[in-house]
């Protein structure tokens, strides 16, 4: 994602110091507080190599929790600080911790969260890590799909594309709100760019499913799990969705995402002036 | 399923008795018609039903349809669902489940399932009358979701009982022995239900189910508002625990295991035993 370089990236900890042929070294263990900073004490590592015999190199993946790009009370009064404290601090963090625990015992690792999601989705037969990985990605995407003083209208190319694919912005808005209000169960509502049909579309997914697994490019998402609105809105889903559309949705992020998406999807012929 | 209780939804599509000898002569036709109409009127008098538009206002076309062997049903009354009352106050389950949760859960969530189910039923009725097959099929998901929500929550309210009225007392006699036999011990059952409830991803229900035919107990989970029968046609729900977030979020936040641990204090095992004994009689 263009706007969040380096987020949720894995660190592969294969030791580069295989001193003797035929012998692999155990990589230095890294505590969670030191994630992101690898301390290399060359002398002690080489000593360890000499002492250890035939220990396989262990490659680990580790994912970190990224923070929303705003303070936790920045979305008041539409989403309260308490909700974000729980939603991000407890639930989102919980997914990260669970995933790291699972990965400690599994042979999976991906270079990016997106690759991990596609791998663990396993073409519709998801592996246990899928739920955690996808929910981490979905929530990261969600925090960035919102901003303080958001809402209002998109502009430029994104607005043109919306008008092209939905008829008008208000058609798009109505369809999005309607999809969210008639949601059965837990899941997410997405504005995606469909790579095959080359158009924007509104999609709903249940539980942790993410449109990335179908090769589509998400532009905006909205968390329809009850924990994301229950404290603030109780069962009044309509108010939650309307507030999201009017005051929270970040068209800045959406624009950045669709600009990046255009590198992968041909959205139309370029306007080449005729000589 | 164990829904013999009168407060539970009864949906009956009342169909006219299939006439083995369709009347051919005009005289017997009009007599038949008159009988049908009076039967309709009597039924309407003695029960609270809404009559579909297609019924008593089109006697002539009904008569013709019968002559021509048409499959359009004209006489049908639609029984709509109603929100059942709780047998206890909203605050009676404190501190296990807060009064605010109970009130919202009953008055908002369950009520919306009932309302949407009734809407879907009326639309279904109209679609059936018109023979609009795509509409009939399209309505199935709304009926499954909202109808399931109504069924499940009706059972859920009966599964709960305030502590001072017997909530939380462990099961005895036949159900107690059956639990010991099928799970080892009551504690093992509680552990199993708590584990499956906590592991359920998203929204759903965790059930203690009785298989009607094999008389065996089992722990099942269903997603969203799917009723227990979606897991097996012979399964009867003895106990259902709602693990949708709306059932506990205001009080327990995302710590679903705490909610599950505590809810046993207000479970009404007498109701579960009743259902069990009726089913195994």
pLDDT in tens, A32-91: 444 444 455 555 565 566 555 444 455 566 888 999 999 999 998 999 999 999 999 999
Cβ–Cβ gap A235/B245 under 8 Å: no
Residue B163 has pLDDT above 60, yes or no: yes
* Structure confidence at residue A108 as a pLDDT band (50, 70, 90): confident
**pLDDT by residue (tens digit) across A147-202?**
999 999 999 889 999 999 999 999 999 999 999 999 999 999 999 999 999 999 99
Mean pLDDT of B168-197: 93
For B:80-109, CB contacts with A below 8 A are 104, 108-109
Residue written as tokens 């155990």? A26
* Tokens 């998406």 found at: A261
| Token representation of residue B29 | 């036709």
Residue pair A227/A87 in contact by the 8 Å Cβ criterion = yes
pLDDT of residue B38: 54
Q: Do residue B202 and residue A91 have CB atoms under 8 angstroms apart?
A: no
- Closest chain B CA to residue A87: B254
Give the relative orientation of helices A251-261 and A156-166 as an angle to the nearest 10 degrees: 80
Cβ-defined contact of B254 to A226 (cutoff 8 Å): no
pLDDT of A143 over the 90 cut = yes
The CA distance from A58 to the nearest CA of chain B, in Å, is 29
Q: Which of B202, B224, B254 sits opposite A91 (nearest CB)?
A: B254
Among chain A, residues having any CB pair with chain B shorter than 8 Å are 86, 90-91, 94, 131, 184-187, 206-208, 225-227, 230-231, 234-235
Mutate to test the interface with A, among B249, B256, B259 (most CBs of A within 10 A): B249
pLDDT, one tens digit per residue, over B62-107 is 454 454 444 444 456 789 999 999 999 999 998 999 999 999 999 9
Neighbours of B28 (CB within 10 A): 12
Task: Kindly state the greatest CA–CA separation across chain B.
Answer: 72
Per-residue model confidence as pLDDT tens digits over B114-128? 999 999 999 999 999
H or E stretch including B211?
Answer: strand B204-211
Is B250 in the A-facing interface, judged by CB distances under 8 Å?
yes
The one-character DSSP state at B145 is H
Half-sphere exposure of B162 (CA within 13 A, CB side): 14
User: Residue A252 has what pLDDT?
Assistant: 95
Nearest residue in chain A measured CA to CA from B222:
A185
């Amino acid at each position: 994602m263009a706007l969040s370089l380096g987020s949720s990236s894995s660190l592969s900890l294969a030791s580069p110091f295989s001193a003797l042929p035929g012998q692999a070294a155990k990589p230095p263990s890294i505590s969670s507080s030191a994630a992101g900073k690898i301390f290399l004490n060359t002398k002690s590592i080489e000593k360890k190599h000499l002492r250890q015999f035939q220990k396989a190199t262990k490659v680990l993946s580790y994912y970190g929790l990224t923070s929303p790009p705003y303070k936790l009370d920045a979305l008041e009064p539409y989403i309260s600080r308490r909700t974000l404290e729980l939603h991000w601090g407890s639930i989102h963090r919980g997914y990260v911790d669970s995933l790291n625990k699972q990965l400690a015992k599994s042979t999976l690792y991906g270079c990016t969260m997106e690759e991990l999601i596609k791998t663990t989705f396993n073409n519709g037969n998801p592996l246990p890590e899928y739920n955690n990985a996808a929910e981490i990605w979905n929530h990261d995407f969600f925090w960035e799909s919102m901003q303080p003083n958001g809402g209002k209208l998109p502009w430029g190319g994104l607005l043109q594309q919306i008008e092209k694919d939905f008829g008008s912005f208000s058609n798009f808005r109505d369809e999005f709100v309607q999809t969210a209000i008639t949601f059965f169960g837990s899941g997410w509502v997405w504005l995606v760019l469909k790579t095959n049909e080359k158009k924007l579309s509104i999609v709903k997914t249940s539980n942790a499913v993410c449109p990335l697994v179908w090769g589509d490019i998400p532009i905006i998402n909205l968390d329809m799990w009850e924990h994301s609105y229950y404290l603030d809105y109780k069962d009044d889903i309509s108010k939650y969705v309307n507030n999201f559309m009017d005051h929270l949705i970040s068209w800045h992020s959406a624009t950045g995402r669709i600009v990046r998406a255009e590198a992968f999807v041909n959205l139309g012929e370029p306007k080449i002036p005729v000589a | 399923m164990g829904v013999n209780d009168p407060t539970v939804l009864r949906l009956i599509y009342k169909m006219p008795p299939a006439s083995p000898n369709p009347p051919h002569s005009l005289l017997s036709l009009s007599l038949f018609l008159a009988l049908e109409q009076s039967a309709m009127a009597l039924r309407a008098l003695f029960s609270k039903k809404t009559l579909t538009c297609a019924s008593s206002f089109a006697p002539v076309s009904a008569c013709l349809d019968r002559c021509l062997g048409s499959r359009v049903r004209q006489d049908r009354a639609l029984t709509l669902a109603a929100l059942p009352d709780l047998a206890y106050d909203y605050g009676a389950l404190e501190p296990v489940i807060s009064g605010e949760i109970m009130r919202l859960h009953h008055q908002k969530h369950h009520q919306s399932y009932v309302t949407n189910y009734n809407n879907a039923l009326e639309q279904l009725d109209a679609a059936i009358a018109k023979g609009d097959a795509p509409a009939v099929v399209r309505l199935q998901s709304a009926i499954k979701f909202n109808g399931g929500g109504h069924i499940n929550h009706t059972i859920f309210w009966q599964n709960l009982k305030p502590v001072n009225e017997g909530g939380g007392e462990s099961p005895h006699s036949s159900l107690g022995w059956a639990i010991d036999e099928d799970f080892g011990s009551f504690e093992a059952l509680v552990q199993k239900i708590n584990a499956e409830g906590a592991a359920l991803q998203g929204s759903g229900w965790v059930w203690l189910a009785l298989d009607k035919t094999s008389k065996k107990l089992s722990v099942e989970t269903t997603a969203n508002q799917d009723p227990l029968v979606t897991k097996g046609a012979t399964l009867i729900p003895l106990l259902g625990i709602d693990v949708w977030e709306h059932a506990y979020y205001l009080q327990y936040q995302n710590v679903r295991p705490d909610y599950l641990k505590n809810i046993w204090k207000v479970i009404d095992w007498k109701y579960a035993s009743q259902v069990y004994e009726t089913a195994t009689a």
